[in-house]
Every structure is written in C-alpha cells, then in structure tokens.
Amino acid sequence: MSLVRTAQQENQIAGGFPLKKVFPFTAPKANYHCDAAILWCFDNRFELTVRNFLHSLRVIHSDSIQIAGGAKCLASPDHDSSREFVLQQIRLSMRLHGTTRVMLMLHSDCGAYGGLASGFSGDSMAEAAHHRQELQRAADNLTAAIPGLEVQTYFVDFDGVWATHAPAAKEEPADSREQEPPPQFQAKASSSLC
C-alpha cells in the first residue's frame, strides 16, 4: 500500500465529506514510551519555562494533562469528577505509553486559586506555603489511588521551577550550580519542603 495519497483521497473521508489539508507535516507513526505524565495548568505564561525545564530533565516524550489549576484537581477539586477525570487520564497514559512517573505542578498567580492578589492578598510566601501543602495532598491522593507511581511535585513562579520534595539524583539542574531558594521558601529552609 502506497503511503502517498492522491488529491482525491486527501480531500475526502468516509461518507464523502471534503477535507482540505491546511498544514502539511510528517509525524512519527511509531508509538512511544512516556518519560512522564505532566499534570499542569493551561496558563500559557509558563509554557516555555515548563518546556525548558522538562527538556533539562531529559523528559522528551511526555503525556501532558492540562487542566485549570493543574494538581489542584487532585488536592482540592471543585468537583470530584475533576479528580476522577485526571486519574483516568493518568491510567490511560500508563496503559498506552508505559508511564511510571507523574510530575504534579502548580504555579504562582493561578486563577483557579483566585490568583496571587485576590487569593493570597499578594503574599507570595503564603501562596508558596499553600501550594506546597496542596502538592503534598495531591501526591498523597495520587499514590493512594494509583500505588507504585513515581510522583514528583513542583511549584513554578516567575523566577523559576522549585522542587517541593528533595530532588532525586536525576532531577539535578543541567548546569549543576546550587541555587538559592526563592524568598517564599527561604523562611522554611531549615524544614523539609514537603
């Protein structure tokens, strides 16, 4: 069977409805093994940061689960159906792409939490402490629902990405320089970030 389609084949589907190719490209047809499923908010302000962060961890093939509030749906969902939806997406990622690692992420100024100004009265330390607790609750709920997963949690603010658990060896930054924690984490530097 030829991989090249005729113009007639490209412009029709079953039932005779016309299609018009509007953007040609070639995608790999082979299935992939997922390096991590990423539960993340759909807030586009942090998209490039998260993509670069994942690349620094060598997460090449990921299953992105983007929902308002990201990990909030596992920690404190507005509706139980949100949690069930995300758990089902993670199970599908495991079944279809062999996922064994899930990265849970929350970010500063998230509208699902009311934003930094309204939800936390502009107090970035209170926001970070709250999100750290939410990430722990989300991780606990995830591992209770789906035991055996490797779960990593991260808080993203306008200065960077911060692990809220002690990082595993493979999570070391690409440049391996130690960085100072952001001000909202410095107050808790002597205690665990979990």
CATH number of the domain that residue 129 is part of: 3.40.1050.10
Whether 139 maps to a domain, the answer reads: yes
Those residues whose C-beta lies under 8 Å from the C-beta of residue 74, and which sit 6 or more positions away, are: 39, 83, 86, 87, 104, 137, 138, 139, 141, 142
The verdict on residue 7 lying in a domain is: no
Judge whether 27 lies within some domain: no
159 lies in which domain range?
32-165
pLDDT of 147 reads 95
**18 assigned to some structural domain:** no
| Eight-state DSSP code of residue 12 | B
98 pLDDT more than 90: yes
With a cut of 90, say whether residue 105 has pLDDT above it. yes
Q: Across residues 80-99, what is the average pLDDT?
A: 97
The answer to whether residue 140 is domain-embedded is yes
pLDDT one-digit tens code per residue, 136-165: 999 999 999 999 999 999 999 999 999 997
Specify if 131 maps to a domain.
yes
Is 87 contained in some domain? yes
Q: Is 63 domain-assigned?
A: yes
Note the Cα 95 to chain centre separation in Å.
18
| Geometric angle at alpha carbon 130, from 128 and 133, rounded to 5° | 110
Looking at the structure of the chain, the number of domains it has is: 1
User: Does residue 174 surpass a pLDDT of 60?
Assistant: no
Q: Is it the case that residue 175 has pLDDT exceeding 60?
A: no
